[in-house]
Amino acid sequence: MHRYKAIIGNKLKARTTKGQVKETQIAVQILNRMNGLGKSNATRSI
């Protein structure tokens, strides 16, 4: 939650519910992409 608030902000900027939903979806996509870039690929070594 801290990372979300640090990047996106504490408040939604859209006025309508539809806009707020879309704003949240975009924010989640950004965070998912950032998490994907930061994860290492785990490989099993024998």
User: CA–CA distance from 6 to each of 1, 9, 11, 12, 28 (Å)?
Assistant: 9, 6, 11, 13, 13
pLDDT at 1: 63
The one-digit pLDDT tens for each residue of the chain (46 residues) are 676 677 777 788 889 999 999 998 998 898 888 888 777 677 777 7
Amino acid letter, 12: L
Structure-block tokens of residue 28: 């989640």
Domain ranges of the chain: 2-38
User: For the whole model, what pTM was predicted?
Assistant: 0.64
pLDDT at 19: 94
**CA–CA gap between residue 4 and residue 31 (Å, rounded):** 7
